[in-house]
Structure 1
Amino acid sequence: MNTLKIIHYEDGVKWKSLEHNGPYFPPEYQPLPDDVHFYYDGKKMKLSVAAEEVALFFAQMLDHEYTTKKVFRENFFKDWRKEMTPEERSVIQDLNKCDFGEIHAMHKTKVEARKNMTKEEKQTLKEANQKIVDQYGYCLLDHHKERIGNFKIEPPGLFRGRGEHPKQGMLKKRIQPEDVIINCSKDARIPDPPPGHHWKEVRHDNTVTWLASWTENIQGSIKYIMLNANSKLKGEKDWEKYEIARKLKSCVDDIRNTYLGDLKSREMVTRQRAVALYFIDKLALRAGNEKEEGETADTVGCCSLRVEHITLHEQLDGNKCVVEFDFLGKDSIRYYNKVPVISKVFKSLKRFMDNKEPGDELFDRLNTSLLNKHLSSLMPGLTAKVFRTYNASITLQQQLKELSNKSDNVAEKLLSYNRANRAVAILCNHQRAPPKTFEQSMANLQAKIDARKEQLALAKSELKQAKKEAKDKGNSDIKLQRCEEHLLKMEVQATDREENKQIALGTSKLNYLDPRISVAWCKNMEVPIEKIYNKTQREKFAWAIDMTEDDFEF
């Protein structure tokens, strides 16, 4: 079996030399043409450049339901007014009196123009983009040319967030070179900032893998420019992550026995830790305390659950002890679940909730640091997140074994794979809103299925007639077989779409599932890897595709 070559430098050093051209900054704002106007209270109004740019951000989104949401509109208007001149602020005081119609129409015209570009125009644009990639998209890492992942700094705009995020609609400000920290080796040429600007700082830190960083204004979180997913360093990091999760398999039974034993502990901190581990293990809950600095959304994880986030039920739906969870998880995605639990967990929760108010912490003696410190004492490198990776990967492997059948056709095998992946996504609470076009696309697919059924009925009739007239029925047989195959493929596709309309399969596939499980499954089932991973994903998991044999076991 092939192996990934892992290079370890001393004392956490990631590289010896690093040189690059810095990030690519988005173009500066171009003011509206003279024939496009903004109106307030029915009157034409010329905005300052700063206010006009933010108005454009809102106008571009008028077709989206975001701009109808109260929180989005309030946050936008508050931040927009900060960009206005005092004179503009004195006039513009009500968002409902603002007319962005002409700006929106201009935006839609540009979108349509991009869609309808000629072949020559597309080629010109492609060449211009390639020049940007050539200049900013690569670095020299230890004298080897490596592709950079996200070398473009995100342009300014309005923050959307996921779920019902309380900061949606706020202005994501334009990042300037003065906000950016550059990281390169001491002997490297320092990248030139755009004319008239300077970097915030230049560092030479070879214990980290980022090339540039800055702090964004919405969450106060640090953003990084990193190497591409298929780089040597990224591949090593991925491999190490999944190897740690694989090691957990050999001691997970002992760890489970330990925390189940701790449920009887007289020490409250030990018992709380045991219940938290029970939930993290059984439900793949995030540990908690993972909010970005400055984030105001009321999101929690296991260790930061409050009394109000759980309800205890006895004898619900035939189960004696049931815990009902209802809280906002990462990215403001609601986590709602009713889970049967063992009596020791149920009794412990009752005790934790005694004499507490709804807003009090459920695990008031515990935090993620204490939990992870305990876990690392049980197995080197073990954290709560490793449990999530382990349970996601082991679930995929078990589900694939149960659902897959070598005699199925490729479409049916892919349905089995997606069902296995969906079991993981449900476990990890990876939800999404159904796509806006879902109902229409399903209706279109159903129309195709109905048409194919008619063709199948006709083919059967022709075959029956051929038999009756004792004619050569070879062509009719072949036609019937093709119709049946195409119909089955479309029906499987419809089932797959319906089952996945509210489940996000990509998150677990990219972050929690050991890719070697999928590669080995593809080899065993004779399914092309391209059916599971797209081009970007294949680049990210090139290390797994190269090294994995069909007998791999997580």
Structure 2
Amino acid sequence: MSGDHLHNDSQIEADFRLNVKQENPGELVKESETHYGLKDSHKHKDKHKDREHRHKEHKKDKEKDREKSKHSNSEHKESEKKHKEKEKTKHKDGSSEKHKDKHKDRDKEKRKEEKIRASGDAKIKKEKENGFSSPLRIKDEPEDDGYFASPKEDIKPLKRPRDEDDADYKPKKIKTEDTKKEKKRKLEEEEDGKLKKPKNKDKDKDKKVPEPDSKKKKPKKEEEQKWKWWEEERYPEGIKWKFLEHKGPVFAPPYEPLPESVKFYYDGKVMKLSPKAEEVATFFAKMLDHEYTTKEIFRKNFFKDWRKEMTNEEKNTITNLSKCDFTQMSQYFKAQSEARKQMSKEEKLKIKEENEKLLKEYGFCIMDNHRERIANFKIEPPGLFRGRGNHPKMGMLKRRIMPEDIIINCSKDSKIPSPPPGHKWKEVRHDNKVTWLVSWTENIQGSIKYIMLNPSSRIKGEKDWQKYETARRLKKCVDKIRNQYREDWKSKEMKVRQRAVALYFIDKLALRAGNEKEEGETADTVGCCSLRVEHINLHPELDGQEYVVEFDFLGKDSIRYYNKVPVEKRVFKNLQLFMENKQPEDDLFDRLNTAILNKHLQDLMEGLTAKVFRTYNASITLQQQLKELTAPDENIPAKILSYNRANRAVAILCNHQRAPPKTFEKSMMNLQTKIDAKKEQLADARRDLKSAKADAKVMKDAKTRKVVESKKKAVQRLEEQLMKLEVQATDREENKQIALGTSKLNYLDPRISVAWCKKWGVPIEKIYNKTQREKFAWAIDMADEDYEF
């Protein structure tokens, strides 16, 4: 047999296979088998030897078929894995021409053979009766390849090269409408396959899967470990703890002198101050731009105390505060403040880590085998006293607190905290009938300051719980008390009448009792018992109402209380009687003080005080307002607005006012800008929806209907966002001068709010922030949606 003859035969075979592939790839196996039969008839002259050879090969094929039919499922899976690995190596290789000539033809033949076997043995028998067996090339492949199962995820990579090679083969694209969907589905299945494969291959990854779950469960474990003290028995009356251990307080850092470049001027000349005098001067310099430094009483008190810290030479020189120039000092501290703001992330992180380290060491104590957070473990640094309102002592020097001023309170069997080196504590006590850890006496008003536990602690929580339970007890007997003081309005004793009218004001107006104070020591603030004649005006008729009392006085924190209240006729007549023959500065209730009032309240109900009345009226008002204002069909933002309005009614009752924030106008402008932008977005979305509806009427197909639904959802989403912004604007405007937080944290039973949230599906996070939720953990755990104050 000549070389030319063999070359021609191989060329004919290649051309024939390419034509078959292009014209009808589905018949490739059959045609190739026929071609091999024709080729063999011309190839050898000795037909007898060839037939024997083919007969032997035919027998071997039969034996292999029998062996293949006996393969187990495990061998079948192994063959699939081998084929997958082989296919991956094929597709990673970028040489498509090489695969095109060698591997693809054989793959197609094998797939065709599998289809023929699946369709039935009749076709195979028919081919073998005609004398055609499987091609020799298939015989050379591994036996496991004959059991290629063609899973979906593996068919796709094989099909994709075929689509690229057979560009002229168009029968696939008969259904043009579903082509995009089909491609999308194929890509999704491929991605699913890719995601599944690593799990099958890498067993170590499967072992690591539970790690994220374990991380997620950590916070839950912490919650489970939280001390539910409200589920335990309470200690006997008066006992606050059995074991208490802590590290003591953290003192203010020592003073660091100013750099030499920062000068102090007196009467235009540079003057070097002593360290003590310089430190006090910096307190004033830090407040130079504040309104306080313009007040005469502040300047007078500061200069008086500053001179006490000066040397004799400095006292002789510095005689007039107006000649002192603190400008460079002030600029230095402003620059320091700006530098802190411009710190790098690394610097801020370092400071944060230092603070956290300090918190871990000093910010917790051990109380009765539980780790409790301490509220204020740092001693207040020295500075200038500001006070509230027009306090007569503003500007005075708050001196530095030293360890020798400190009283430590802990249990006898605890490790007593060590004072700083070279110092000692004033005293160490072991008093388990008080809740404070550290105490000292401040020098301005002589009041005692304390380091206490955090509001989330058991001691604070128990105190709150007891306060609201006392207010709930008042609910049961308040009608009896009200009937009693109404009867006392007619008493023959002036003392009883005054007490009854004062109690009426405390009940109806939620006024504070008002404690006696030394004149000149504090701001001129008053409460109910300390009202003066000048604080009220009587109007037999005003604005269409009879018997109106006009109140105008400074209450706690020098906040003005101004109110016009219609009262009962007998109260009005008694007030006229109390004011007879008195000067404006005389006491209205001249035969009453807080001690007399509180003793009477204790006789009416154990534990009853004026504050209990405020707590009761605040809580009952909130509950009533929530019932009136909450609409079941409102969304969450609208319900929150209703809650804030109910809270606002309580704040007004308790006179919890505030000055509008300095940034109020700017924040409202920013909010209005957001509202305007959202309105424009909503208008655009509505136009898009209208256009989509018009298209849907014309097209009337599934695609346009889906577009309409999508546009509807977009409009609804924008409407909700706009409503939320508008509610926020209304809420801010209504409450710009009302302090909602004071009543929420101190006068409103938290169980009312928790029950309301649970009843109406409002997240508690919308009412209480994280710190407040920790403070009221007992209420959140206790109250269900049916709770009634």
Normalised-by-shorter TM-score class: over 0.9
Matched residue, 2:610: 384
Matched residue, 1:540: 775
Secondary structure, counterpart of 1:303 in structure 2: coil
Question: Partners of 2:769 and 2:388 in 1: how far apart?
Answer: 24
Question: Partners of 2:378 and 2:526 in 1: how far apart?
Answer: 31
Bigger relative contact order (CA 8 A; separation at least 6): 1
Alignment gaps of 5+ in structure 1: none
Q: 1:440 to 1:348 in 2, by over 3 A?
A: same
Matched-pair contact (CA < 8 Å) for 1:38–1:46: yes
Matched residue, 2:726: 491
Question: Partners of 1:87 and 1:405 in 2: how far apart?
Answer: 74
Question: Partners of 1:341 and 1:40 in 2: how far apart?
Answer: 61
User: 1:469 Cα shift?
Assistant: 4.3
Give per-residue Cα distances to partners, 1:219-238, cap 9 Å, x unaligned: 22211111111111221111
Q: 1:48 to 1:406 in 2, by over 3 A?
A: farther
Matched-pair contact (CA < 8 Å) for 2:752–2:788: yes
Secondary structure, counterpart of 1:473 in structure 2: helix
Matched residue, 2:402: 176
Counterpart check, 1:508 vs 2:734: no
Secondary structure, counterpart of 2:366 in structure 1: strand
Counterpart check, 1:331 vs 2:557: yes
1:89-488 correspondence runs (5 A): 89-289=315-515, 291=517, 295-470=521-696, 472-488=707-723
User: 1:200 Cα shift?
Assistant: 1.6
RMSD, aligned CA: 2.0
Structure with the bigger percentage of helix? 2
Secondary structure, counterpart of 2:772 in structure 1: helix
What amino acid maps onto 2:608 in structure 1? L
Q: 1:451 to 1:71 in 2, by over 3 A?
A: farther
Question: Partners of 1:126 and 1:476 in 2: how far apart?
Answer: 47
Give per-residue Cα distances to partners, 1:321-358, cap 9 Å, x unaligned: 11111111111211111111111111111111111122
Q: How many residues align?
A: 553
Secondary structure, counterpart of 1:209 in structure 2: coil
1:3-42 correspondence runs (5 A): 4-5=230-231, 7-10=233-236, 12-42=238-268
Q: 1:242 to 1:291 in 2, by over 3 A?
A: farther
TM-score calculated relative to the size of structure 2: 0.68
Secondary structure, counterpart of 2:412 in structure 1: coil
Secondary structure, counterpart of 2:768 in structure 1: coil
Give the percent of matched residue pairs that are identical in Structure 1 and Structure 2: 73
What amino acid maps onto 1:18 in structure 2? L
User: 1:8 Cα shift?
Assistant: 4.1
Question: Partners of 1:91 and 1:318 in 2: how far apart?
Answer: 66
User: 1:3 Cα shift?
Assistant: 9.1
User: 1:266 Cα shift?
Assistant: 0.6
User: 1:174 Cα shift?
Assistant: 1.6
Matched-pair contact (CA < 8 Å) for 1:456–1:480: yes
What amino acid maps onto 1:88 in structure 2? E
Question: Partners of 1:176 and 1:294 in 2: how far apart?
Answer: 28
User: 1:297 Cα shift?
Assistant: 1.3
Give per-residue Cα distances to partners, 1:50-77, cap 9 Å, x unaligned: 2222222222223433333333333333
Alignment gaps of 5+ in structure 2: 1-227, 697-703
Secondary structure, counterpart of 1:4 in structure 2: helix
Structure label with greater radius of gyration? 2
Q: Which moves more between the two structures, 450-459 or 70-79?
A: 70-79
Question: Partners of 2:655 and 2:339 in 1: how far apart?
Answer: 39
Matched-pair contact (CA < 8 Å) for 2:300–2:395: yes
TM-score calculated relative to the size of structure 1: 0.95
User: 1:433 Cα shift?
Assistant: 1.0
User: 1:260 Cα shift?
Assistant: 0.8
What amino acid maps onto 2:759 in structure 1? N
Question: Partners of 2:634 and 2:260 in 1: how far apart?
Answer: 62
Give per-residue Cα distances to partners, 1:82-113, cap 9 Å, x unaligned: 32223223333333333222222222222222
What amino acid maps onto 1:543 in structure 2? W
Counterpart check, 1:521 vs 2:756: yes
Question: Partners of 1:254 and 1:446 in 2: how far apart?
Answer: 51
Give per-residue Cα distances to partners, 1:131-159, cap 9 Å, x unaligned: 21122112222233222111111112222
